[in-house]
C-alpha cells in the first residue's frame, strides 16, 4: 500500500482571498491523505523591495506563513516554502518538482458577471501546470461528491469524460454530465447526445453513479445555463478543460473557461493537456474499458 501523502499546494499571496484556498485545503487534506504546502513567491523586481535584503524578506515571509498555519490550525506536517522569482513560473516548477496532487488557488482580481478577467498569475498557472488547478470561490460542504462535467462537441469531449472517470474513482464521486443545445434540435437527435451515450458506457462498466442532462436554450450563453444547473442539483465542483485533444500546447484560456472560473460559486477543477494526461494515467491500469474507447 502506498502511504505517501498527496500534496496540496496553496500559493499564498497575502491578499484578501487566500484564506478560501487555505480552508478548502484544510478540509480536503484528511479526505485524500493530503499534506498541505504553503508557498509564497517573492518577486524581488517589485519596486518596494529594492532596498531590502532578500534574506531578510525570505525570513520575514517564512515567519508569516508559520503564523498563518497557526491561525488556521493547519496540521503539524504542513510545509512552508518561500521562493524568489516570477510567480507563476515558480508555482509550476515547485508543483512539478514535488509531485503535487492539486494546486489550490484563488483569484484576487474578480471581475463583474460576464467579464473575461482573471489575474495573470492564476491564468498562467492554469495554462502551464502539470496538475489540476482548483480555483476556490466558496467552500462547499462536500468535496468531490457531486461533480459537474459540461460537454460540448469539441474534440476534447472524450478526454473530459475520461478525466471525470479518473476523479470519480479517486473520490467515489457521482458525476453529472450536462450539455446545452440551441434552437429546434431535438435533444435525442443531437450529436452531443450520441457522444454521451457512447462514452457513458464506461461509467456503467466502472460502477460510477452518473446523470445526464441536456439543456435547451433559445438564447443566452451556455455557461450561464450550466452554472444555473450546477446550483440546481447542488454540485460541489465543476471540471473544465483548457485544451483540444491531440494538441500539445496550451497557450490560452477560452471564453467559456474564463466565464466558468470567474462566475462559478463552487470550486472549478481546471485541466490542460499535461494535467489531463497525468490525472488519467493515475487510474488507467484499473479502468474497465471493454469497448476499447480509451485505448
CA atoms of 230 and 213, how far apart (whole Å): 11
Quick one: how far is CA 210 from the chain centroid? 20
CA atoms of 262 and 231, how far apart (whole Å): 15
Phi and psi angles of residue 208, each rounded to the nearest 5 degrees, phi first: -105, 125
Cell digits for 163?
478525466
CA atoms of 142 and 28, how far apart (whole Å): 9
| Residue 43 half-sphere exposure toward CB, CA atoms < 13 A | 11
SS3 107: coil
The pLDDT, as a whole number, for residue 251 is 52
Domains along the chain? 6-135 (3.40.50.620), 146-286 (3.40.50.620)
The pLDDT, as a whole number, for residue 203 is 85
C-alpha pair distances (Å), 246 with each of 151, 195, 250, 276: 17, 18, 11, 12
Check if the beta carbon of residue 101 is closer than 8 Å to that of residue 8.
yes
* CA angle (80 as vertex; 41, 268 as ends), nearest 5: 70
The pLDDT, as a whole number, for residue 245 is 43
CA atoms of 33 and 256, how far apart (whole Å): 33
Cell digits for 273?
493537456
Residue 176 β-bridge partners: 148, 211
The pLDDT, as a whole number, for residue 45 is 62
Mode of pairing for the β-strands spanning 79-84 and 210-217: unpaired
Q: Tens digit of pLDDT per residue, the chain (295 long)?
A: 457 889 999 999 888 789 999 999 999 999 999 999 999 998 766 545 556 667 788 899 999 999 999 999 999 999 999 999 999 999 999 999 999 999 999 986 655 555 556 788 999 999 999 999 999 988 999 999 999 999 875 656 677 777 888 888 888 999 999 988 776 655 555 677 777 777 778 888 888 999 999 887 766 778 899 999 999 999 999 998 875 444 444 455 778 888 899 899 999 999 876 665 555 555 555 555 544 555 5
Three state DSSP letters for 227-247? HHHHHHCCCCEEEEECCCCCC
CA atoms of 53 and 123, how far apart (whole Å): 30
Check if the beta carbon of residue 98 is closer than 8 Å to that of residue 68.
no
Check if the beta carbon of residue 13 is closer than 8 Å to that of residue 122.
no
Phi and psi angles of residue 243, each rounded to the nearest 5 degrees, phi first: -130, 170
Amino acid at each position: 500500500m502506498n502511504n505517501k501523502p498527496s500534496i496540496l499546494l496553496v500559493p499564498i499571496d497575502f491578499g484578501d482571498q487566500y484564506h478560501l484556498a487555505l480552508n478548502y485545503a484544510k478540509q480536503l487534506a484528511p479526505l485524500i491523505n493530503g499534506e498541505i504546502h504553503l508557498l509564497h513567491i517573492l518577486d524581488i523586481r517589485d519596486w518596494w523591495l529594492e532596498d531590502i535584503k532578500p534574506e531578510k524578506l525570505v525570513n520575514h515571509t517564512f515567519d508569516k506563513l508559520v503564523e498563518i498555519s497557526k491561525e488556521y490550525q493547519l496540521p503539524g506536517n504542513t510545509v512552508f516554502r518561500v521562493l524568489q522569482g516570477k510567480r507563476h513560473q515558480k508555482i509550476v516548477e515547485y508543483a512539478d518538482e514535488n509531485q503535487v496532487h492539486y494546486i489550490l488557488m484563488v483569484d484576487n482580481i474578480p471581475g463583474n458577471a460576464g467579464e473575461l478577467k482573471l489575474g495573470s498569475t492564476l491564468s498562467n498557472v492554469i495554462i502551464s501546470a502539470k496538475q489540476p488547478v482548483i480555483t476556490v470561490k466558496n467552500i462547499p460542504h462536500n468535496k468531490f461528491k457531486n461533480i459537474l462535467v459540461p460537454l460540448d462537441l469539441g474534440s476534447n469531449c472524450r478526454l473530459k469524460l475520461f478525466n471525470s472517470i479518473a476523479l470519480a474513482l479517486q473520490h467515489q464521486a457521482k458525476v453529472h454530465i450536462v450539455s446545452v443545445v440551441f434552437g429546434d434540435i431535438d435533444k435525442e437527435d443531437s450529436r452531443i447526445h450520441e457522444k454521451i451515450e457512447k462514452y457513458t458506457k464506461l461509467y456503467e462498466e466502472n460502477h460510477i453513479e452518473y446523470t445526464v442532462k441536456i439543456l435547451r436554450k433559445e438564447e443566452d450563453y451556455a455557461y450561464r445555463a450550466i452554472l444555473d444547473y450546477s446550483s440546481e442539483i447542488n454540485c460541489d465542483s465543476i471540471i473544465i478543460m483548457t485544451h483540444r485533444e491531440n494538441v500539445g500546447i496550451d497557450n490560452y484560456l477560452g471564453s467559456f473557461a474564463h466565464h466558468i472560473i470567474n462566475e462559478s460559486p463552487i470550486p472549478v477543477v481546471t485541466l490542460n493537456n499535461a494535467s489531463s494526461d497525468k490525472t488519467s494515467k493515475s487510474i488507467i491500469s484499473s479502468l474497465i474499458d471493454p469497448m476499447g474507447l480509451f485505448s
